[in-house]
Structure 1
Amino acid sequence: MSHTRRHFLSRTAQAGMALAAASSVGRAWAKSGKPLRILVGFPPGGGSDVIARLLQEPLSSMLDVPVMVENRPGAGGQIAAQQLKAAQPDGSTVFLTHDHTISILPQVVRNPGFDPAKDFVPAGGFASFVNCLAVPGSHPAKTFSEYVQWVRTAAQGRSAIGIPAPASTPEFLVQQLAQHFQLDLVAAPYKGSAPMIGDLMGRQIEAGIGSVQDFIEYQKTGKLRVLAVLGGQRQKAFPEAPTFGELGLAGLEDMPYYGFYAPHGTHAAWIQRFSLALAEAVARPAIRSQLEQLGLTVGAMTPEQLQQRERAYTAAWQTIIRKSGFQPQ
């Protein structure tokens, strides 16, 4: 038998054993009747919460256990992350989160109360997305250029831009916009996207930066107008909105990600079972379609792929944060 053939059979056998172990762990867990708790670090009604509740039923069906969504909002996901660290590594708790809590918070908060590399283990990813700048639907600016001109004239060069959390990707973006366009722009932090959007629609603030999934439904109804997006290409949901790269801001092409994390020490076979269930869930046509309608670019990531994605994004924003002169607080 050739070396290549033996290597293939060995890899196949290893994969089969891993799947069998995952299945065994899954059956034992299902028999225990212990529910799965999905922690969400933002308030009900926000993009992360909507996604968690969309995945709740298919994950419950595939894992054969009850699944509950538990909102622990505050500090940009920091509270939920601390809850995950304190959870038992028995397969009963996962944290649905995006780039901010995992990649940004540890760089901008001196003592966040958790270390993703030591306290968490990736359990699988399922999507990437972009952040956007939007104005109220009643705002006179129809394009980003008109918004810049509005700030310079009607607002006398100074205006606030809402952001869903302090020391976040949107806050550093506000800083870059201010520098590039020579405007006095101030980031106005909120406790999540939902209250920010409420103030946007009421024109208590004249612009906001959030994720595509936060803004997409309001864009459809005309209550908000997306003027520009991050990422390397325009988005299907907002084809008229240019990328910030098109507007002259380089280095904003790397797209944020969504994934699940479990407490450190969670059984590897359980992690694999969860990852497989997640991949099957987002492959369901109905689920995939609903996620895409939220503006997500859907694609299952293994725990290893999620970890690679996390590291790349962290490195990209480490450069931006360092250049900004921001000091961890």
Structure 2
Amino acid sequence: MPHQPSRRQVLAAGAAFALGSAIARPAAAQSGSPAPLRILVGFPPGGGTDAIARTLADKLKDLLGQPVLVDNRAGAGGQIAAQALKAASADGHTVFLSHDHTISILPLVTRNPGFDPAHDFVPVAGIATFVNALALSGGTPARSLPEYVQWVRERQGGKGNVGVPAPASVPEFLVKLIGQKYSLDLQAAPYRGSAPMIADMLGNQIGAGIGSIPDFIENHKAGKIRVVAVMGNARQAAVPEAPTFAELGLKGFEDVPYYGLFAPAGTPQAAIDRLGDALAKVVAQPDVKDKLTAMGLAVGYMSQQQLASRERAYTQAWAKIIKASGFQPQ
């Protein structure tokens, strides 16, 4: 019969194992791989922002010499991800890839968003600008904005629903202005991100949607939806056939939104500079630039100071538009 150790022997062996583990852990931490960089994304996988984040992550991991993870915190137009950034440690291991809606627009349309970009965040760097666009589903017979207006007026009794990726967003205000311009009763139908909105467009559950070109471009090229008008002061290389809203007589949407990375306030400047330098190298790589351009972005690196200036100017411009619309923060 095998010898059975005594209770005292078992406890002694357990204590020795625990002590050995405690000694080994710091050594493993010192010799192991570095802590990962986490990129928060405020929208679900499959959308434009998620695709951009994964493109950046794939390149940053080699330049930074550390794992880079995309952390989707979808919901409330990026508000959940922004709150997660505010709660994160300011140690240089967490950043937030965001466009204009969460950083510039949400604080203007929400009474208590749970974060204040001016105090809770610090810009890291910008990577691109982009434009929002009006797209029509495959089941909508119109092939242009004027044809869509005529179709709504004649076939829909002057009423129509237009999908938007988030409530109280730039696309929602654009829906209102299009309705006012053409004397139509257009209602914005808010979704939790662009992916479910586009899914409904592909299924002909909704006839039109307004979102970013990066969200629409793949299905537009496949002929499943049609981009018929874009924001900005010039036509976009990704969809050169689509006129600007200004060309169609709808002015006031020439200022274009941005994509940038933000870190928690208090993040060491050295960490911000390190990541900013890496981003500059990433967006300068021809394959990355080509990929992001194909998504509908106007790729252009913005330093920390340039992104901060861009964000302030954009926020001020939209504060005037939102106030003039009579919208009351919810």
TM superposition shift of 1:147:
0.3
Distance 1:75 1:149 in 2: 33
Task: Note if 1:133 corresponds to 2:128.
Answer: no
Taking the aligned partners of 1:284 and 1:242, their CA distance within structure 2 comes to 30
Q: How far off its partner does 1:66 sit? A: 0.6
Give the root-mean-square deviation of aligned CA atoms: 1.2
In the alignment, what sits opposite 1:42?
43
Extract unaligned runs of 5+ from structure 2. 1-29
Runs of 4+ in 1 over 6 A off after TM superposition: 29-32
Mapped to 2, the partners of 1:57 and 1:142 lie a distance apart of 38
Partner of 1:196: 197
CA gap 1:254/1:227 in 2 versus in 1, 3 angstroms: same
* Cα distance between partner residues in 2 of 1:235 and 1:289: 14
What code does the residue aligned with 1:310 have?
E
What corresponds to 1:263 in structure 2? 264
Q: CA deviation at 1:61?
A: 0.9
CA–CA distance in structure 1, aligned partners of residues 151 and 126 of structure 2 = 40
Q: Distance in 2 between matches of 1:230 and 1:207?
A: 16
Cα distance in 1, alignment partners of residues 269 and 125 from structure 2: 12
1:242 Cα deviation from its structure 2 partner? 1.2
SS at match of 1:311: helix
Displacement of 1:30 after TM fit?
11
1 CA distance for matches of 2:246 and 2:294?
24
**Partner AA of 1:43 in structure 2:** P
What residue in structure 2 maps to residue 294 of structure 1?
295
CA distance in 2 between partners of 1:268 and 1:237 (Å): 36
Question: Displacement, 1:137?
Answer: 2.4
Query: Which residue number in structure 1 is paired with residue 306 of structure 2?
Result: 305
Equivalent-residue separation in structure 2 for 1:124 and 1:30 (angstroms) = 31
Per the alignment, do residues 298 and 325 of structure 1 end up closer, same or farther by CA in structure 2, a change over 3 Å counting? Answer: same
> Within 1, Cα distance between the matches of 2:32 and 2:320?
48
- For 1:266 and 1:100, the matched residues in 2 are separated by 23
Work out the CA distance in 1 between the residues paired with 2:31 and 2:116.
Answer: 30
Structure with larger Rg: 2
Q: Distance in 1 between matches of 2:32 and 2:300?
A: 30
Contact 2:230-2:245 at 8 Å conserved across structures? yes
1:168 aligns to 2:173 (yes or no): no
Equivalent residue number for residue 321 of structure 2:
320
8 A Cα contact 2:144 2:228, kept in partner: yes
Once the two structures are superposed, residues 133-153 of structure 1 have per-residue CA deviations (whole angstroms, 9 ceiling, x without a partner) of 001123210111000000001
Which residue of structure 2 aligns with residue 247 of structure 1?
248
Q: Secondary structure at the match of 2:118?
A: helix
* Residue segments in structure 1 that go unaligned for 5+ positions in a row: 1-28
Instruction: Indicate the residue corresponding to 2:276 in structure 1.
Output: 275
- Cα distance between partner residues in 1 of 2:96 and 2:31: 19
Superposition deviation, residue 43 in structure 1 = 0.4
Q: Cα offset for 1:240?
A: 1.9
Q: Is the 8 A contact 1:30 1:63 kept in 2?
A: no
Checking the alignment, whether the CA contact within 8 Å between 1:30 and 1:65 is kept in structure 2 is no
Question: 1 CA distance for matches of 2:199 and 2:241?
Answer: 24
Change (3 A) 1:182 1:30: farther
Structure 1 residue 32 displacement after superposition: 7.1
Residue 78 of structure 2 corresponds to which residue in structure 1?
A: 77
State the partner residue of 1:62: 63
Partner of 1:237: 238
Q: Which SS does the other structure have where 2:308 is aligned?
A: helix
Contact 2:139 2:207 (8 Å CA) reproduced: no
Aligned residue pair count: 301
Decide whether the 8 Å contact of 1:34 with 1:65 is kept in 2.
yes
Q: Deviations over 1:79-123 (max 9, x none)?
A: 000000000000110000000000000000000000000000000
1:112 counterpart residue number? 113
